Amino acid sequence: MLWISLVQIVLVLGLAVSGFEYFMKRRSAEGEEKKTLAVHFLIRIAVLSAAMFGLDYFFG
């Protein structure tokens, strides 16, 4: 089950990179673009979190 832990580490790193990317883009964005960036970031968090939960639930 080592591969599950490795996949979860990759998913957590994906969350970290996504968050860093969001905050860097947000600094230069204006108005409606900030809202769009926020929605995309929340969708990424939801998908990656669901993937981690699924791995724990089905294989953990």
Domain residue spans in the chain?
1-59
Residue 31 φ/ψ, nearest 5 degrees? 50, -115
E strand or H helix that includes residue 60: none
Please tell me the distance from the alpha carbon of residue 5 to that of residue 22, in angstroms, as a whole number. 26
pLDDT band at 35 (very low <50, low <70, confident <90, very high): confident
pLDDT of residue 38: 87
Both tokens of 15, joined, read 């969350």
Place of tokens 């990179």: 17
Its pTM stands at: 0.73
Contact 59, 18 (CB under 8 A): no
